[in-house]
């Protein structure tokens, strides 16, 4: 007898927050803030509020007109294609900056699809000497003494959201100033984000570290002060480690790398579970397809979602609550917590139908159930060569004329 449990997710929001907190009593962090409620309806409200023209002018500012769409895109409440089409139709050429950022998301995902689990190890030798110190409690507990970095960590822990520019500054500080192992930091960061996504997250950390870019990313005080409106520097009383010219910082932080190889972070394979001879079909709803509008939701099979510890055991409480909002809104999805194999066996499922994903953990888990993979519509219907997948600029050179052709 296993321990998987069927959940009765309450439809009332407050009860749902309590319920998830009780079921996942080991999950850390505060409750999900109401402005981050999960589900397609919330995602559509955010989409309708997008001002792509203003975004193009001020997205790098911490209080700029950013969209907050990432958790909804990450969990499939909205698709990348529909968001792209919406921006293109409503804003035309004025929306080009936002469309390019959406293409970054597609780019990282294409790299994941192509490279598989290789994205969890260094993609290229680092271009500067990086080191592999453990991630300290001071960083994780917002206790470095730097109001900016501690402020970003507080936002991460409190809301599960950090502005893109702050993510870049923070990653650069952690990897290049504190010399921390980018992989440990990336794992920790991803676990606390509502939009936590292995492709966008781990590959961005590698981009900052220079293991998937031609140079390291770094910044100085002037840059941070400008784009934050000076709000952190105003209260800072410590010697600022960023207060220098780029030349001086580069000389202080970087020595040329002698590494000609890449550091590998082996992933443990899951133990293979037994096959079976059941006949029934089911739709396996995974965490990238949480929308009643997903085309698989129209199929006449039971739909099953499992909070499987292998996939979401590291998530913060508010991420679990976000996902509970999503599955609650989908209405006809059976929700379980526990081991997916056990759940599907108990339901007598022979074959699962699900949405294609680069997440090889999901593929491993579903392997005993002869999975059929529904392809995800591509952002642009063209084959991207391996060479183009090495850098966003090369990818963009190819897809930009196709995506923007009719503007």
Where along the sequence are the contacts to ligand FAD (CB under 6 A)?
A: 59, 66-70, 73-74, 101-102, 104-105, 108, 164, 167-168, 171, 190, 193, 195-197, 200-201, 204-205
The residue behind tokens 């590291």 is 314
Of 164 and 223, which CB lies nearer to ligand FAD in the complex structure? 164
Of 166 and 335, which CB lies nearer to ligand FAD in the complex structure? 166
Of 106 and 329, which CB lies nearer to ligand FAD in the complex structure? 106
Of 23 and 404, which CB lies nearer to ligand FAD in the complex structure? 404
Taking phi over 0 as left and psi of -120 to 50 as alpha, with beta for the rest, 158 belongs to: alpha
CA distance 113 to 203: 12
Among the listed residues 347, 184, 367, the one whose alpha carbon sits nearest the alpha carbon of residue 270: 367
Of 9 and 65, which CB lies nearer to ligand FAD in the complex structure? 65
Of 79 and 354, which CB lies nearer to ligand FAD in the complex structure? 79
Among the listed residues 6, 78, 26, 28, the one whose alpha carbon sits nearest the alpha carbon of residue 306: 6
CB of 178 to ligand FAD, least distance (A): 14
Of 37 and 70, which CB lies nearer to ligand FAD in the complex structure? 70
Phi, psi angle pair for 235, to nearest 5°: -110, 10
* Sign, CA torsion 334/308/363/107: positive
Phi, psi angle pair for 161, to nearest 5°: -135, 135
CB of 217 to ligand FAD, least distance (A): 8
Q: 353 by DSSP, 3-state: which?
A: strand
Cα distances (angstroms) measured from residue 31 to each of 17, 48, 98, 341? 7, 25, 30, 29
**What's the token pair of residue 112?**
């994941």
Of 204 and 359, which CB lies nearer to ligand FAD in the complex structure? 204
Burial of 95-112, coded b for 16+ CB within 10 Å and e otherwise, reads bbbbbbbbbbbbbbbbbb
CB of 66 to ligand FAD, least distance (A): 4
CA distance 80 to 101: 11
Among the listed residues 186, 192, 180, the one whose alpha carbon sits nearest the alpha carbon of residue 120: 186
């Amino acid at each position: 007898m296993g321990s998987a449990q069927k959940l009765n997710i309450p439809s009332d929001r407050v009860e749902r927050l309590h319920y998830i907190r009780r079921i996942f009593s080991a999950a850390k962090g505060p409750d999900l803030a109401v402005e981050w409620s999960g589900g397609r309806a919330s995602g559509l409200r955010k989409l309708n509020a997008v001002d792509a023209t203003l975004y193009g002018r001020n997205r790098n500012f911490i209080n700029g007109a950013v969209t907050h769409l990432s958790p909804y895109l990450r969990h499939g409440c909205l698709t990348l294609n529909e968001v792209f089409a919406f921006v293109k139709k409503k804003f035309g050429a004025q929306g080009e900056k936002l469309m390019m950022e959406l293409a970054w998301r597609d780019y990282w995902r294409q790299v994941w699809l192509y490279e598989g689990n290789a994205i969890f190890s260094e993609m290229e030798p680092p271009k500067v000497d990086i080191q592999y110190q453990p991630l300290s409690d001071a960083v994780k507990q917002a206790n470095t003494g730097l109001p900016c970095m501690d402020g970003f960590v507080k936002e991460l822990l409190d809301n599960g959201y950090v502005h893109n520019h702050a993510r870049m500054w923070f990653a650069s500080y952690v990897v290049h100033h504190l010399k921390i192992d980018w992989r440990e930091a990336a794992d920790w960061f991803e676990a606390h984000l509502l939009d936590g996504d292995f492709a966008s997250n781990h590959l961005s950390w590698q981009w900052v570290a220079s293991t998937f870019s031609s140079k390291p990313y770094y910044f100085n005080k002037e840059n941070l002060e400008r784009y934050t409106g000076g709000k952190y520097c105003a209260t800072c009383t410590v010697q600022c480690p960023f207060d220098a010219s780029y030349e001086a910082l580069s000389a202080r932080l970087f020595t040329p790398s002698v590494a000609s190889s890449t550091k590998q972070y082996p992933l443990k394979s899951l133990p293979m579970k037994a096959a079976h001879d059941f006949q029934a079909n089911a739709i396996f709803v995974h965490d990238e397809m949480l929308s009643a509008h997903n085309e698989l939701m129209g199929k006449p099979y039971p739909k099953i979602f499992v909070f499987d510890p292998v996939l979401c055991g590291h998530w913060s409480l508010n991420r679990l609550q976000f996902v509970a909002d999503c599955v609650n809104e989908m209405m006809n999805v059976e929700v379980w917590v526990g081991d997916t194999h056990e759940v599907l066996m108990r339901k007598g499922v022979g074959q699962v139908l699900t949405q294609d994903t680069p997440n090889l953990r999901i593929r491993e888990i579903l392997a005993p159930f002869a999975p059929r993979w529904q392809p995800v519509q591509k952002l642009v219907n063209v084959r991207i060569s391996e060479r183009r997948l090495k850098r966003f600029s090369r990818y963009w050179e190819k897809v930009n004329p196709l995506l923007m052709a009719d503007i």
